[in-house]
Every structure is written in structure tokens, then in C-alpha cells.
Structure 1
Amino acid sequence: MTTPPQPPSDLPARSVQAVWHPCTQMKRHEGAPPLEIVRGEGVWLIDAQGRRILDAVSSWWVNVFGHNQPQIKAAIAAQMDRIEHVMLAGLTHAPVVELSERLLARTGLGHAHYGSDGASATEIALKMSAHYWRNGARPQKNQFIGLAGGYHGETVGALAVTDVPLLRQSYAPLVRVAATVPVPDARRKPAQLSEAEWVEHCAAALEQHLQEHAERTAALIVEPLVQCAAGFVFHPPAYLARARELCTQYEVHLVADEIAVGMGRSGRFLACEQANVRPDFLCLSKGLTGGYLPLSVVLTTDTVYAAFYDDDVARGFLHSHSYTGNPLACSAALATLELLDDARLAANRDLAARLDAIFAPLHAHPRLAHARHIGLIWAWDVTDAPADFARRYAAAALARGALLRPIGNTLYFMPPYVIDEAAAMHLRDAALGALDAVLMESRAPTPSPLHDGTAVTPQAALP
């Protein structure tokens, strides 16, 4: 149903005055005010003028079953009639218990500790790892390793393992920077090496670091299979398996940050499943509630939990926030898990194959290189991208009815799981039309080598 045009709204101007938008240089809104969204329907956003815009990025990767999803809405409404929130210290409630049990059954990891967002989950996992070693009389094991280009959030603790130069430089005095090791990005593989040799080459760098620093290292944190904010850097499951082996060998925890790639995004419930890997800590957020309410969780092993179980309060895990395990958010997550059963995961894999065929013209476009795809994630690199490509492309795509936010020179799709073929064709055409428009209007493209080690966050890529 088409919404009739509405008179101009003053809300965007008021937003610029009253709201400090995230990771945005607000001065840019002088010429491009934020777009007012008034409603959502499935994969579509509807703006104040009644335009339908395909949410091709799942609203920062959170909305997995579409906007206005009836089962999730009903679960939240039903819980609202019981209890909206109660503190979780000394009290409990059915949604948080049931969600924790369901996550244990799906992942093999339990003892769920809840936060509000992905960065909070990172903080929890890192603190829990270091505290585990302290409780085990090895307090010197309090340092961390991340993969080059990794992104794990923007709070001060999470920035320690987030390899984004802009963020690290801006907040350097506050950050205790972790070590980084190379990731086997297929685009950077030397021609003389096979994929297996490239994986082993990068694994050897990790092993060398562990040989030298394991006694002071608490954990390695990874984004399994896809480093999204680094420009959708894919690495083979074999690397994740080798990282697990090395962490076990050198007594270092493996933290799997599945905030972006978990909850079915990679084609399996967890990306770790594709490498047959069980981490010591698992971080989930974003799609955990279907995109309806803020919630994150860290799951861990019985071994880790046992190290904190004691009469001494100081040996307990000391982390909380007021809305820990909020009943409404847990109810939304339970409804999301009901939707994301094995049958739905299988259907998503079939859907991904059909959509990949629809997106074939992007794979073949002469200015798009390194086409890559896993589950319901697609990415391409724009060769010789013009200056300010990401911002200009986003505007051109929006004018064609698609919300797309390139990361640097990388174009990507991460749509809700309810996208159909007709919507996918609209997305394809809008993406290609925007690309051709931006390239045509650029009289003198500025060559810019891709993936030179500089990572940008999706938040920083555009205003």
C-alpha cells in the first residue's frame, strides 16, 4: 500500500539541533539532513514523504526478520503485561531463564551474562577472561590479541581490540592497545601460495606471537569468517580452526565475536559451526532480538564459570548494568529464536543461492572486484573509486530506493532474511544504477588501493 505524500516535516532540522547522531561529523548535515523514517514493513522503510526504501543493511545489521514482524511484536506486548523490567541481582524472571536455556541448547555454551550492546559484550568477555586467569593465580595473563582490521566496538575497553586507526588515534590516551596478527584475506594472498598455505602462513604469525607472549596473554578475539567493518574481509574456516588449536595449545582463551555474523547471518546459526569450533567465550547481539530491543549476551564454558564460584565476593565476576537481562528484550530474543529454527536456516541457504543468481550482474560489473558471498552477506570492492565514494554512493542509492552504506570502497548487502526475489531485483537495480551514476559524475577518479590495512567502521563511513 502506497502512503500518500505528506507535507514537509521539520523533524530533520530539529534532529540536527537536538540529537548528536552516532559517529557522524554533524557539520555534514548542513547540506544533507537526516532522513525521517516513519514506518517499516518487512524489508522496507517508509519515509515521511511516503517513499519506500529497501533496508539493504538491516538497519546496521540488526533487523533479521524484517520491520513490523508480528511474532516478535506480540512477544514484547505479552511480556509488557507481566513485567517490563526488574533488577537481575538477587531476582530472576522467566524470559531470562528460558533464553539462557535456549542459547545453551543451540550453542553448547551457557552461564549467560547479559549486556545492552555489542561493545558491552566485548567488555564482558575481555574482563571475564582476564579475571579467570587472575582467579587461577596467573594475574599476568591480562593482555589480548586481535586480528588486523578487527572491529569489536567503540567503548574504551572494546577499542583496545578494535584495529581502526581513526578511533585508536582519537582516543589513544584512553586505550590499552592489544596486539594484532594478520588475517588470511584472500585478496591479499600472494599468488605463489595456495589458500591452505596462506592460512598456515597467517596461523604461523599467531603461533609466533603466542610462543613469545602466551604467559601474558589472556585471549584472542576474532570475528569468525567475516570481519564486517574492516571492509568485509573473509577468511577461511580453516584459519578459525587453527586459531582454536593454537589457543588451546598455548592456554589462551578464544573469544568469538559473532555480534554481526551470528544468529544465522553466515548460513549457520553460528559462523563458528562452519569450522567445527567451540570458543571459550561467545558474544551475540545485533540480530539477537531481531532488531527490536538492545540486548547482548556472553556465553562461556563450565570451566570458566567454575573459576568464579567461591565464597569470596572478589572472586565473583564484577560487572553489571541496570537493565541486565531486561524481560522485554529477552522476550524479543526468544521470539527471534523461535523463528530462526533449523528449517528457517535451511530455507535461508536456499534463498541465498537464488539471490546470488539475481546479483550476478554485480559480480560481472567491470568496476566491481573480489565478489564474495557467505550466507546472506554479499560484498564487492570498487576499483579506482572516486573521492568520497561512500557518501556519494549512499545518496545515489537512497535516491533509487535503497539504503546502502559502503564501507570505504567496499559495497555490501546484508538484507533482512525476509527479502524476496522481487525486492532483491529492486536492490540489484538500485545498486547498479547508483554505482554507474557515481562513476559517471566523477570526471577524474582518484585511484585508491583497497584494503591497505586501514579499516573504517560502518558508522564512520558516512554521516
Structure 2
Amino acid sequence: MTLSYDELRALDARHVWHPFTQAGTAQPAILALGARGSTIYAADGREYLDLVSSWWVNLHGHANPAIAQAVADQAGRLEQVIFADFTHEPAARLAHRVCKRLPGDLNRVFYSDDGSTAVEVALKLAHQYWRNHGQHRSTYIAFEGGYHGDTAGAMSAGHSSGYFGAWKEMLFPVETVPFPATWNGDETVEDKEQAALDALDLLFAANPDHVAAVIIEPLIQGASGMRMCRPDFLRKLEAKVRDNGSLLILDEVMTGFGRTGEIFACVKAGITPDLICLSKGLTGGFLPLSVTVARDGIFEAFLGQDLSRAFLHGHSYTANPLGCAAGLTSIDLLESAACQQRIGAIEAIHRRRLDGLKGLSNVAHTRLTGTVAALDVIGGGKGYEAGIGPKLKAAFLERGLLLRPLGNVLYLLPPYCITDAELERAWDAVDEVLRSLAK
């Protein structure tokens, strides 16, 4: 039975609860019929250039034929198998491919479903690692503004992001230190970095031998407004964690797989965490899948003859073969010369167009890391609930651009397949909208 446009919209309005949406005030959801490359095709005949990679997951464009074929081929062989008693070729190969590109001895892959569960796994691994060593360590340290997902542990680590007030009674305490957010022309960055490191020192001193782990989104804090820090700060952070005998967790759910200009932010910064969380771009945007990768020493702490030492955690769709097949092909595409050229081209266009906005009175804190460009729009409030955000979003949708400002923060995070002409058109619209608001 084929349903009409109005019938589908009515079904959605009656039954579907959309995420991060106030249903009492939201406009009806756009009905997507299909997508190809950087473009989403809507049922009303409109087209939208996807400048946010559909929540940062789509690396190579919508309906990429190579990934689609890999998923279809795998579906005809093995679509799902319990991963507690079985393994399969796509899972083993994908784990190897990921570990091969990670630094140091990050060699042990634990599969789960999404970014939140990848972080949850890392937090639980850190706690049990110390427990298996006969130590009770329950203190975690995170960074102000950090967002790590929507499960209970991930929310606890990201409590300062401001998203989780409704559930604060459910969360366990996590200490926070300032995040040294920086931008082009920032003359105070070194002072902010030192303040963050000093705050970290104080927490370690107040909790000797009790800190289980420090967790950070490396180089870019995503949901809190694409706030960026320098690689040098991450190197100093790693040294502090090592000096104090704790563990370092990197949440690379968003920054992984080329977003920072390198395949992983830890590679760009030259550091090796104890645990790293990867998701979003892992399957090129086709299927939900995530991994938490541990160093060999973490894994070895769980070995023994007693089941209580094992990591008793899992998910029904752990290491789903379809997702793993998509991930293998996505990495093939990412490592190709053509994709690497596109990543460089995107960064170059971002840099040039950000420079062109510097003179506008309503633009501040322009910043760029790899394929992620961001700026603050002055006027109309600050923070996630800033009134300027919905106005900007509506103005860009009218122009056929999918841009979802984070409050007063406007950012572009396109799929790598976007053409120079498409990206220039997007920046032309950004320039036009911002100049109209500045008058």
C-alpha cells in the first residue's frame, strides 16, 4: 500500500517521538524520500544540501554505492549472530583495520551500538580495571562543557554540558575542570590551558590514588558548540594523567575517521590514550555501530580463571555483521587518495571563507579543525537555547541548506564527497545571512 504525502505526515505526527525536539512547538518534520551524495530529497520536491553530515555520521555521502553493495552482499551471507559464542570475518577484519591506524598498543576492540554505549563501556572498563587490581577508584574527571552521550554514565561525565538537568538525580558525581576553548587570534589560550592543568593538579592532589580516569573529547567538543583546543594541550594533559597513575579516555565519537584532518584526533595530537571511543563515522553513516578500543594492558587485567574478573557487558547486536561490513568499506574509501584530497580541499575552503567573515560585527571566535568550521553569532543570546539559533536554521532551510546551529554557534561539518561548488554555495549563503543580520 502506497501512502500519500499527507498520510505519512499524519502518521508521523500521531506516533513518532522525535529526539531533541519540543513537540509542542516544533514545525512538522521534513519528509525525506531519498538522498544521494550531499543532497537530501524531500517529499515536497525540495532539496537540501547536508552540511552537518546528518548528525555527523555520514562520511562519504548518502547512498554511497560501495557501502550499499557491501551491506547487501553481507546480508545475503550472515546478517546477525550472537557474539558471545561466535565471531565472524567482518568483525575480525574491522577490528584489525581500526587498530592498525591507532597509536601504540591500542589493540583490543569491544563492540557496542553507538557513541553513548562506547563511552559507557570505557567508564565501566576503567572502574573494573582498578577493581581487578585490588583498588577502589570511583573518581572520574571530565571537562566543563563536555558531552559524552545519553546513557547514565555518559550523562554523568557530561553533566556540565547543560543537557541533563531533568535526570540529575540519576547521575553519579564526576569532577570537572575548565576546557581551554580557543579560536583564531586567541591571545589568552596559554593562560586558559595552564588554568585547566592547574585545576587537574588540584583534583589529583585531593583524590590521591582514587581517580579512575580522565575523559575528554580531543581537539573538538562537539555538542557544547564545536569548542576547540590545541594539540599541545592534549599532550600536556596526557603527561599529567601518566604522572598521576590514572587512565586517559578519549571520546572520539565525533572526531574520529578524518574529521580533524587526521584519521583520529589522537594521531594528530601525538598521544596514546588507554581507552578510545569511536562511533558515528565508523560505518560511513549506514548503520549504528561503535567500538571501545583498549590498550593491551587494560585487556590483560580482565584475564583469569574467575568469571568475576571478566567484563560482563554486552549488547544484542554487538558486532553486527552488516555494520562491520559497512565499516570496512567506509575505511577503504577514507584511505583512498581521492578522499584525502577532498578532506584537504574542504579545510582549505573553510579557512578562506572564515577569513572572509572576520570583518562582520556579529561574528566572533572563528575556528577551524580539519573539516569542522565554526563561529559564534553575536546578538540573539548565547548558549543552546539562544533565540538566534532557530532563526538561523530557518533562514538556511529556506535556501536549501541543512544547518543546525548549536544555539548561537554556527558550524559546517559536511560529508567528504561534497564538491567545491556545493561548499562554496553553502558559504555564500552563510555570508548572505550573516550580513543581513548585521545590518
Q: Select between 431-440 and 304-313 the one with higher mean Cα deviation.
A: 431-440
Matched residues in 1 for 2:357 and 2:84: separation? 51
Residue 246 of structure 2 is matched in structure 1 by 252
User: Secondary structure in 2 aligned to 1:60?
Assistant: helix
Q: CA deviation at 1:8?
A: 4.8
Q: Which residue of 2 aligns with 1:419?
A: 418
Match of 1:447 in 2: none
**8 Å contact 1:362–1:368 — kept in the other structure?**
yes
2:205 is the counterpart of 1:211 = yes
The residue that corresponds to 2:291 in the other structure is 297
- Matching residue of 2:98: 103
Q: Distance in 2 between matches of 1:330 and 1:8?
A: 34
User: How far, CA to CA, are the matches of 2:18 and 2:437 in structure 1?
Assistant: 26
RMSD (CA atoms):
2.0
Report which stretch shifted further, 339-348 or 416-425.
Answer: 339-348
Question: Match for residue 34 of structure 1?
Answer: 29
- Report the secondary structure of 1:373's partner residue: strand
1:114 lines up with 2:108 in the alignment? no
Deviation string 1:94-122 (CA, Å, 9 cap, x unpaired) is 00000011111111412110111100001
Is 1:261 aligned to 2:258, yes or no?
A: no
CA–CA distance in structure 1, aligned partners of residues 168 and 414 of structure 2? 34
The answer (yes or no) to whether the contact 1:121–1:297 under 8 Å persists in 2 is yes
- Aligned counterparts of 1:353 and 1:187: Cα–Cα separation in 2: 17
Counterpart residue number, 1:152 = 148
Match among 2, 15, 19 for residue 18 of structure 1 = 15
| 8 A Cα contact 1:146 1:181, kept in partner | yes
Contact preservation (8 Å) 1:379, 1:412: yes
Gaps of 5+ in 2: none
Range that drifts further, 340-349 or 259-268 = 340-349
Matched, 1:123 2:120: yes
List gaps (5 residues or longer) in structure 1.
1-5, 441-463
Which deviations, in whole Å up to 9, do the C-alpha atoms of 1:224-262 show, x marking residues without a partner?
011011111111111111111111111111000000011
Counterparts of 2:335 and 2:263, CA distance in 1: 9
Q: Which has the higher mean CA deviation after the structures are superposed, 181-190 or 254-263?
A: 181-190
Indicate the SS of the match to 2:17.
coil
| Alpha-carbon distance between aligned partners in 1 of 2:226 and 2:96, rounded to the nearest angstrom | 32
**Pairwise mapping of residues 51-450 of structure 1 onto structure 2 (< 5 A)?**
51-108=46-103, 109-139=106-136, 141-164=137-160, 166-186=162-182, 193=188, 195-341=189-335, 343=337, 344-345=339-340, 347-385=342-380, 388-436=387-435
Q: Displacement, 1:342?
A: 6.4
Structure 1 residues 189 and 173 mapped into 2: Cα distance closer, same or farther (>3 Å)?
farther
Shift of 1:207: 1.5
| Cα gap change, 1:9 to 1:285, in 2 (>3 Å) | same
CA distance in 2, matches of 1:163, 1:342: 39
- Deviation digits for residues 155-208 of structure 1, max 9, x if unmatched? 1111110134543321011111311001111269996x5x43432232121122
Deviates more, 1:147-156 or 1:102-111: 102-111
Residue identity over aligned pairs, in percent, reads: 36
Q: Is the 8 A contact 1:16 1:26 kept in 2?
A: no
Distance 1:342 1:197 in 2: 40
Q: Secondary structure at the match of 2:150?
A: coil
2:291 alignment partner, SS class: strand
| Contact 2:178 2:195 survives alignment (8 Å) | no
- In 1, the alpha carbon distance for the partners of 2:145 and 2:327 equals 29
Quick one: structure 1 residues 383 and 411, their matched pair in 2 at CA, closer, same or farther if it must change by over 3 Å?
same
- Cα separation, 2, equivalents of 1:125 and 1:91: 23
Q: Would the aligned equivalents of 1:400 and 1:434 in 2 still touch at CA under 8 Å?
A: no
Alignment deviations for residues 25-55 of structure 1 (CA, whole Å, 9 cap, x no partner)? 11113xx101111111101111002211010
Change in 2 beyond 3 A, CA 1:8/1:92 = closer
Deviation for aligned residue 1:434: 3.7
Secondary structure of 1:26's counterpart equals coil
Q: Is contact 1:149–1:164 with CA below 8 Å preserved after alignment?
A: yes
| Structure 2 residue identity aligned to 1:412 | Y
Distance 2:254 2:266 in 1: 13
Contact 2:132 2:302 in 1 (8 A): yes
Shift of 1:370: 1.0
Deviation at 1:266, TM superposition (A): 0.2
Q: Is the 8 A contact 2:349 2:424 kept in 1?
A: no
In structure 2, C-alpha distance between the alignment counterparts of 1:262 and 1:190, rounded to whole Å: 25
Which of 287-296 and 199-208 deviates more? 199-208
Alignment check: 8 A CA contact 2:217 2:250 kept:
yes
CA contact (8 A) 1:224 1:257 kept: yes
- Cα contact 2:144–2:161 (8 A) shared by 1: no
TM-score (norm 2): 0.93
Contact 1:93 1:327 in 2 (8 A): yes
CA distance in 1, matches of 2:387, 2:265: 32
Is this contact kept in 1: 2:218–2:265, CA < 8 A?
Answer: yes
Contact 1:44 1:53 in 2 (8 A): yes
**In 1, distance between residues paired with 2:177 and 2:185?**
15
Equivalent residues in 2 for 1:442-461, closer than 5 Å: none
Q: By how many angstroms is 1:294 displaced?
A: 0.1
Distance between the aligned counterparts of 1:196 and 1:400, measured in 2? 40
Q: Deviation per CA, 1:301-352, whole angstroms, max 9, x where unpaired? A: 1100000011111100111011000000000000011111163335412442
Residue 215 of structure 1 aligns to a residue whose secondary structure is coil
CA distance in 2, matches of 1:331, 1:361: 42
CA contact (8 A) 2:362 2:438 kept: no
